[in-house]
Amino acid sequence: MTDDIDKRVKPDNYDIGKLFSSAFGVFEIPQFQRPFSWKEDNFDKLFEDIYASFENSKEEYFLGPLLLQKEGSKAYSIIDGQQRLMSLAILLAVIKDHTKSDELRKSISRSLYEEGDKHKDLPSAPRIEIWEDLKVREIDKYIFTPSESKNTINFLETVKNGVIKYSGKRDPVYSIYKAIEVFTDKYRTYLRDGKDDEFVTYLYQKVYFVGIVTYNLPYAIKLFNVLNTRGMPLTPGDILKAVNLAEIDEKDREKYAKIWRDIENGIGRENVEKVIEFMRTLLLKTKAKKGIIDEFEQNIFGNLLKRGEEFFKFFKEIADIYRATIIEPESLSTTPQYKNLVSLMRDYIPFDGWISPLIAHYRKFELNKIDRFLTLLEKKTVIEWVVGYTPSRRIASLNEIIRNIENSDSANQVIKKLNEYLSRKLPREMGRFQSYDRSELALFKIAVNESDFYSEKYSKYLLLRLDLNIVDQESFGGYGGVITIEHILPQNPPPNSEWCRKFSKEDRETLTNAIGNLVLLGRRKNSSARNFSFEDKKNKYFFKGGMTPFHITLEIKKYQEWTPKLLRERQNRLINTLLQLYFGVSDNNEGQT
C-alpha cells in the first residue's frame, strides 16, 4: 500500500522562485476547474499577509497546499491552488510593469514566460496556460509575455475605455481587472522607491507552498477534497466533468469542455448540480443510496450510459430541457397556465423531486399534453407534501411516474394513469395527522384547517396557489421580489385593543395562525404596524401606496371590520377552494377528481 501511495503522491516545499522557473516548467489549468473568481478582498488579504511577514520578520510564509497532477512529459495540471498561483502571477506582472529596475523586470519576465530552447526541443510558453475562455479573449498576453511593455497598465486602460469588456462581477476578466487594480495600488503604497527588489527576493525565496504531485487524476481529485480548506470543494459536477473529459480524444476535449462551460454560464453552477441529480434519477429511478459519484461509477457508467461523449450529450439534453421547461418557460409555445404554474412550483416548492418526471414527459412527448400533465403532477406533489408523506415516500411515488411515462405509448395514457392515481381512495399510514378516515382527502382537510397553518412549510405556497387561481392567467407577470405572510388579527395584540375586545382568548389561540387570518404582502414585515387597528392596518400597511399585487389580500379591502365570524367564513372559503383545486370537491361533497 505504501509503495502504491508513493507512486501517486510526491510532497515537497516549493518556493515561488522555484515554481516560476525553468526548474519546474509550466502549468496548465484543467478544463474542469472553475474560472478565475477571486475578488478584491482576496487580493487585498493575500498581499497584506505576505507583506506583513516581509516587514516584520522576513521568516518563511506558508501559502497553503498546492496540488498538482502530471502525466508523462505534459505540463503540471493545477488541481488545487490555481486562484492563489494566478494571483501571484498577476502581482509579479504588476511589479514588472512598474519597477525602475531593468534587472528585476527581466527576472520577472523569465518567471512569467518560459523561454524555449530549440536545441532541447523546448517550446516557448507562458508559465501558466490559463483558462480557455480567457485565452480566446487574449487576456493571457497582458500577464504572461516576454515583452517589456507595460501590459498590466495597458489592460487597466483598455478595460476603462471599454475595449475589453466583462459581463459582470462573475466574469473572470472582472477578477483579473480587480487583481491588477488592487496590486497596482499596493505597489504605489508599499513598493515604490526601490523596495520592490527586496520584496520580490523575499517572495521568490521565502514564500512557499507545500506541493503535492500526484500522477493519478481520480486520486488527485479525492485528495483535493480532503486538503481543500481555502476554497470551495469540487462538486460532483466538477468531478464527473473531469472523469468524462478524460475519456474523450484530446483533439475533441475543448469542444465538450465548452459545451459544459456554456451550460454553466447559462443556468449557473447550482443548477448544473441539479441537472446531474436529474440525470441520475431519470436513469436509475430510485432514491439515492450512495454519493452521486459512486452512483454514476457503480450503477450508471457501463450499464446505462457510456463515459465521455455520450455522458456530455445526455447532460446537454437534460440541461436544455430543464432550462426550456422550468427555468425559462416564457419561451415555450404552451399555455400561460403552464408557465405560471411551473414558475410558482420552481420558486416555492422547496424540493426538486417533481422536476425529473416533468423532464421525462418532455423527453418522450415534448409539448403534447404538457400543461395537463403539469396540473396533475402539481396536484400529486402538493397533496403528498401537505398530508405528510416522508421524503423517501414522495421520491418513490414520483419515480413511479417516470416509469409510467417510459412504459406509456402516448401522453394521453400517462394522463389517464395519473388521474387514476389521484382518484383512488386507499388507506394511508404515513400521514402525520390522525383521522378515523385516513384517505389523503381527510388528511389534507385536517392539514389546511390546522390552527398553526402559518408555521407549516407549505403555507406560503398554498396561499400563492390560491392567489394564482384568481389572477388573469394571460396578463399575469409572475411572483417576484420579497413576499411575506402577514396576520390580519395580530399575533400579540395589546390587552386593551379592539382586537382583544372582538376576539376572545380562545378565538385568538385557534384563529390567529389559521389560513383564514393570513394574507400576502409584497414587502418586508413591519413590526410597528402589526398591532394597528383593522382600519389602520388596511390603509397604512396592507394597501400603503396603492393596491396590493395579491388578490387574496385585495379582498380584505371590502371589509369594514374583522371579526371571528368573518375570519371563519374566509377560512371555509379558502379551504373549499383548495379542496376544489386538489380533489375536485367541496368540504361537504367528496366527489372524485
pLDDT tens profile 251-278: 888 899 889 989 988 999 899 999 999 9
Alpha helix locations (H) across 16-101? 16-19, 40-56, 82-98
Relative orientation angle of helices 564-583 and 440-448, to the nearest 10 degrees: 150
Nearest in space to 115 (alpha carbons), one of 144, 75, 142, 86: 144
pLDDT for res 249: 87
User: What Å distances lie between residue 274 and 267, 277, 348, CA to CA?
Assistant: 10, 5, 16
Predicted confidence band of residue 279 (pLDDT cuts 50, 70, 90)? very high
Q: Mean pLDDT across the chain, nearest whole number?
A: 86
> Rounded CA gap, 408 and 402, in Å?
10
Q: Give SS3 for 250.
A: helix
pLDDT higher than threshold 90 for residue 226: no
- Distance (Å, whole) CA 241 – CA 307: 10
Q: Which of 208-212, 354-358, 367-371 has the lowest mean pLDDT?
A: 208-212
Q: Say how far apart CA 572 and CA 153 lie, in whole Å.
A: 70
Cβ atoms of 280 and 295 closer than 8 Å: yes
Gap between the Cα atoms of 167 and 176, Å rounded: 13
From first CA to last CA, the distance across the chain in angstroms is: 63
- pLDDT in the model for residue 435: 41
Residue 164 has pLDDT above 90, yes or no: no
| Per-residue cell: 148 | 517589456
* Spatial distance between the Cα atoms of 525 and 166, rounded to a whole number of angstroms: 37
Q: Which residues contact 516 (CB under 8 A, 6 or more apart)?
A: 567, 568, 569, 570, 571, 572, 574
95 has a pLDDT exceeding 90? yes
Instruction: Classify residue 479 as left (phi > 0), alpha (psi -120 to 50) or beta.
Output: beta
Average pLDDT over residues 565-582: 96
Identify the sign of the CA torsion 103, 105, 107, 113. Answer: negative
CA dist 3 and 443 (Å) reads: 62
pLDDT band at 322 (very low <50, low <70, confident <90, very high): very high
Whether the Cβ atoms of residue 26 and residue 125 lie closer than 8 Å to each other: yes
Q: What is the pLDDT of residue 35?
A: 80
Q: Cell triple for residue 92?
A: 509579479
**According to the per-residue pLDDT averaged within each range, which of 67-81, 253-267, 473-487, 560-574 is highest?**
560-574
C-alpha cell at 372: 395537463
* Predicted pLDDT at 141: 82
Q: What angle do CA 186, 192, 197 make, to 5 degrees?
A: 100
Cα separation, 94 vs 241, in Å, equals 34
- Each residue's pLDDT tens digit, 492-508: 999 989 999 999 999 99
C-alpha cell of 477? 407577470
Say how far apart CA 109 and CA 571 lie, in whole Å.
75
